[in-house]
Amino acid sequence: MDFIIDGFIKAFFLLIHLDPATMSAISATLKVSTIAILISLVLGLPLGFALGYFTFPGKRHIKTLVDTLLALPTVCIGLIIYALISSQGPLGEWNLLFTLTGIAMGLTVLALPIVIAITAATVENIDPELKLTLVSLGAGRHHIVRTCLWEVRYGILAGVVTAFGRVFTEVGIAMMVGGNIKYHTRTMTTAIALETNKGQFADGIALGIVLIIIALCVNFCLSFLRKQ
């Protein structure tokens, strides 16, 4: 138990004194997670809404594909992105390997199916009578879409939080694509894994505390929005 108590004491010391390595890992994690989530929302929300709202040929097969991507192992995503952006890959000339941009690409691939699937499932559960009522009142298509989105806003928020949780705590993609380079591509999760294996429990605990605090803040914001 002593090493755990000492670890917490040293962890608070690192956080209070803004240890450069710890702050660098926190900054890198926030950057790649934010970029991945924003891109996933821009692409995933319209696609998820279309998949859940409209009926078209092949819809069932597309839903099956999206659901399959939800279960895609993260190491496979890391392998695919690595192959694409490595020096021998089609995007090799962009020099994205071992960069935060490369990590963000992998995390976007991870988050996008989550946003699409949850948005589609949420939209499909809209009360059919709502659409009929809006049509009977003479509402235009854009007004109907906005009203439907407002009705399912909490479900979509839950999907956003779920996607954020996945990308924020991802290890495999960040390790394979980023290379876990200190002060450059080392994220909180890869730093925790590395420092714990080295016996540096304080560093791991410090970053773990930050992860928990951010998770609590995200869930607090979601609870606040649900009351609005």
Quick: pLDDT tens for 45-86. 999 988 988 888 988 999 999 988 888 889 999 999 999 999
End-to-end CA distance of the chain: 44
Asked whether the beta carbons of 18 and 85 are under 8 A apart, the reply is no
**Model pTM score:** 0.88
HSE-CB of 88 using CA atoms within 13 angstroms? 2
Asked whether the beta carbons of 134 and 144 are under 8 A apart, the reply is yes
| Angle between helix 128-136 and helix 141-151 axes, rounded to 10 deg | 150
CATH of domain 2-226: 1.10.3720.10
Task: For residues 22-35, give the mean pLDDT.
Answer: 92
- Round to whole Å and give the CA distance between 226 and 224: 5
Q: What's phi and psi for 72, nearest 5 deg?
A: -65, 125
**Residue 53's CB: how many other CB atoms inside 10 A?**
17
Average pLDDT, the chain: 85
Q: What Cα–Cα distance (Å) separates residue 214 from each residue in 96, 102, 172, 189, 219?
A: 28, 23, 20, 13, 9
Write the pLDDT tens digit of every residue in 198-221.
877 778 888 888 888 888 887 787
